[in-house]
């Protein structure tokens, strides 16, 4: 199979990935973590795992996700705080609440919330 590569700042190295990855969620979509229940807005997608080995190894083995699937960068929130999360596709669900997320960085990346999703700022879209 042909593979492509990209540089991952989080991993500090080139990552090899299939040329076509099937992401289930889009940038601007609100999602919920399957196990931990926090919500977030997708702001970037890696076609396969592209974070550090330390990060990956810190996940308990019994719930550690496969590397060969899309991973999503989220502006996330829970009841206590807002943060950035990196989550595998297998651990995300569409958010049934479908309401806005309260994260202090939203305005830097997205313009508004309409029809259940955020619109990427025009200056950031390709």
Q: Which long-range contacts (CB under 8 A, 24 or more apart) does 104-110 make?
A: 105/75, 106/41, 106/75, 109/43, 109/75, 110/28, 110/41, 110/43
Read off φ and ψ for residue 106, nearest 5 degrees: -55, -45
pLDDT in the model for residue 97: 82
Residue spans of the domains in the chain: they are 4-11+27-124
CA 109, CA 86: separation in Å to the nearest integer? 17
Q: What is the mean pLDDT of each run of 10 residues along the chain (126 residues)?
A: 68 68 91 96 94 94 93 96 97 90 94 92 70
Read off φ and ψ for residue 29, nearest 5 degrees: -80, 140
pTM, two decimals, is: 0.82
Q: CB atoms < 10 A from the CB of 47, how many? A: 20
DSSP secondary structure, 39-106, as one string: EEEEEEEESS--S-HHHHHTS-GGGPPPSSS-EEEEEEE-SS-EEEEEEEGGGEEE-TT------TTH
pLDDT in the model for residue 17: 64
The answer regarding whether domain 4-11+27-124 maps to CATH 2.30.30.390 reads: yes
């Amino acid at each position: 199979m042909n593979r492509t590569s990209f540089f991952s700042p989080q991993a500090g190295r080139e990552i090899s990935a299939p040329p076509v990855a099937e992401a289930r969620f889009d940038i601007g979509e609100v999602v919920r973590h399957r196990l931990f229940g926090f919500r977030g807005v997708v702001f970037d997608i890696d076609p396969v795992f592209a974070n550090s080995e330390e990060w990956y190894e810190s996940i308990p083995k019994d719930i550690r996700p496969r590397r060969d699937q899309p991973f999503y960068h989220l502006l996330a929130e829970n009841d206590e705080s807002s943060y950035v999360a990196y989550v595998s596709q297998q651990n995300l669900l569409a958010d049934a609440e479908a309401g806005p997320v309260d994260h202090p960085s939203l305005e830097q990346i997205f313009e508004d919330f309409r029809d259940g999703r955020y619109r990427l700022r025009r200056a950031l879209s390709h």
